[in-house]
Amino acid sequence: MAESDWTFDGGQARPSGVERVVNVQLSTVYGDFLAVGYLDRNRGDEQMALIYGVTEGDIGHSDIGDGGIGDGDIGDGDIGGGDIGGGDIGGGELVQGGPCDGVGGDGMLTRVHSECLTGDAFGSKHCECGEQLSAALHAIASEGRGVLLYLRGHEGRGIGLLGKLRAMKLQQEGLDTVEANLALGFPADARDYEVAADILHDLGVRSVRLLSNNPRKSEALMRHGIKVTEQVPLLTPPRPENITYLRTKRERLDHHLPHLDRGPDRDPELAMDLHGAADWS
């Protein structure tokens, strides 16, 4: 088994749960990213990492080689020590054909984003997912380097699209987001982040500055061998439609959302976003 087929949790080697399948340049409104496609060997889900600062032309092949971005030879050069596509990845010069130190090595600005069809694609006002996705991509592009993992299979905190829609209906009837999941027989949060850690290991990312308000996400990554050097807040203005949802995330799921304590009387921008909502107390 090749070295890239293994990952390390707490110093213990185990077979990697992901297979890197393809990479392709992806131009977006936020900038040009390299999209790297993975197959989750355990669940069968198709996953994607978006890497800022690397182009397909810099890598040279649609297949990223035996050793992966983190540990092997990539096309004619490596990432991790090089100046690639105008973005500094590691601070050195591009070395032709040498070992690769990783996409970012240590302290890579990273977003681990759980898929949310209603928020990401349709702009739902009942969550902040779409706004967080956009803000994270902006932040990574502004940083000049970074990684966003878009995790399939995480819809509705892991209960699936139909489960989420059923939970939303219960929330309309008065339950909060945790109570709705439990009433349907689901955990409050059914997500697992092992696949995210496996992808980061494959990319050679040893530690991250994590764009997240969720300390449980940081803890999960650390359990799987990814060091979190900083949790970078990703706060979005609340809306009348999601203020109760956000408060539940803070009070019952331990999300760090200090901006919810600021009412519109103390924050004119929030007052504009809330359109005079009376749900602040």
Q: List residues with catalytic annotation.
A: 189, 191
63-89 burial: b if 16+ Cβ within 10 Å, else e: ebbebbbbbbbbbebbbbbbebbebeb
Q: Which residues have a Cβ under 8 Å from the Cβ of 111 and sit 6 or more positions away?
A: 132, 133, 136, 137, 139, 140, 146, 147, 148, 149, 210, 211, 212, 234
113 is in an annotated binding site: yes
Residue 127, annotated as binding a ligand: yes
Which amino acid is residue 112, in one-letter code?
Answer: V
Q: Is 157 annotated as a binding residue?
A: yes
Q: Is 155 annotated as a binding residue?
A: yes
Task: Dig out the tokens for 39 from the structure.
Answer: 């197959």
**Is 177 labelled a binding residue?**
yes
Contact 24, 30 (CB under 8 A): no
The answer to the question of whether 227 is labelled as a binding residue is no
Tell me whether residue 111 is annotated as binding: yes
Is 116 known as a binding-site position? yes
Rounded distance, CA 77 to CA 232, Å? Answer: 31
48 beta partners: 37, 150
Residues flagged as binding site for Zn(2+) = 116, 127, 129
- Binding site listing for GTP: 111-115, 132, 155-157, 177, 212, 217
Which residue ranges are tagged as binding site? 111-116, 127, 129, 132, 155-157, 177, 212, 217
